[in-house]
Structure 1
Amino acid sequence: MVAMSQAVGKAVISLCTGLEDAEKVTVAFLVAVGAAEQGRTTLMFLTKEAVRLATGSVATGVACAGCPPLADLVARYAAAGGSYLVCPLCFDAKALSAQTLVANATLGGTVPLWQWIGDDPVVTFSY
């Protein structure tokens, strides 16, 4: 069993997979929700196909029997204060509109990612 301590610091979950691998997306959101709900300042960095998840109603469905609905995880993530940084190169390559971004999403690449991290200790996950 993993020892639990008071959650402090930041968490970054990097996700490059979209709904073509719904189980991987679900796992990434479970990790992000867990971090955010435990009080960590949490950012999901979305690249490649994952950028679509930050637009309107794309993040839907259930990945597997027993998995929570993705829409529920997205709502919990937002309610816990989680945010998204969406790769603008990937977003533009898919001809998506910035007006479709969810409220807790911002277009930004690696420089804004490093600025967000700053000098703080950060736990990272990549999917």
Structure 2
Amino acid sequence: MPGKFVVSLSCAKNDTDKATVAFVIANAAVASDKETVVFLSIEGTRLSQKGYADDIHEEGFAPLKDLIANFAAAGGTIYVCSPCFKKRGLDEDKLVDGAKIVGGAKLVEFMSDGAPSVSY
């Protein structure tokens, strides 16, 4: 099933269930041969930092750090909202694999041909 898919995530430790499920869905999309982007905004940008997700493990799911690593290893891309990232004083040198700091225009460009999306 070629095509594109976007998972928009605005949560991190403030809602670990949503953060986990977002990456479960993202992994399913990339495993289905979709060019997949996870867009991290607001508090979700914190997940772009190495070590941040290490202690997040919702019952019944793989640990979030593994879901993030597996997503990147499978070819998924993580877009990190630049203004949200800067507002939180996060460190560009600590980005997880697959993460890129981008402006909103990059997400709009990716979605411009009608890519389906889900939001958490």
TM-score category (smaller protein): over 0.9
Distance across 2 between alignment mates of 1:59 and 1:123:
26
CA contact (8 A) 2:69 2:97 kept: no
With normalisation by structure 2, the TM-score equals 0.92
Q: Which runs of no fewer than 5 residues in structure 1 stay unpaired? A: 1-6
Are 1:126 and 2:115 matched, yes or no?
no
With normalisation by structure 1, the TM-score equals 0.87
Q: Shift in Å at residue 38 of structure 1?
A: 1.2
Residues paired across the two proteins, number: 119
Distance across 2 between alignment mates of 1:95 and 1:72:
25
The SS at the match of 2:118 is strand
Letter of the aligned partner of 1:107 in structure 2?
A: I
Are 1:18 and 2:20 matched, yes or no?
no
Q: Shift in Å at residue 48 of structure 1?
A: 0.6
Matches within 5 A, 1:31-42: 31-42=25-36
Percent same amino acid at aligned positions? 37
Q: Shift in Å at residue 103 of structure 1?
A: 3.0
Report the equivalent of 2:51. 57
Q: Shift in Å at residue 116 of structure 1?
A: 2.2
Distance across 2 between alignment mates of 1:40 and 1:97:
29
- Deviating 4+ runs (over 2 angstroms): 116-119
What is the RMSD of the two structures over their aligned residues, measured on CA atoms?
1.2
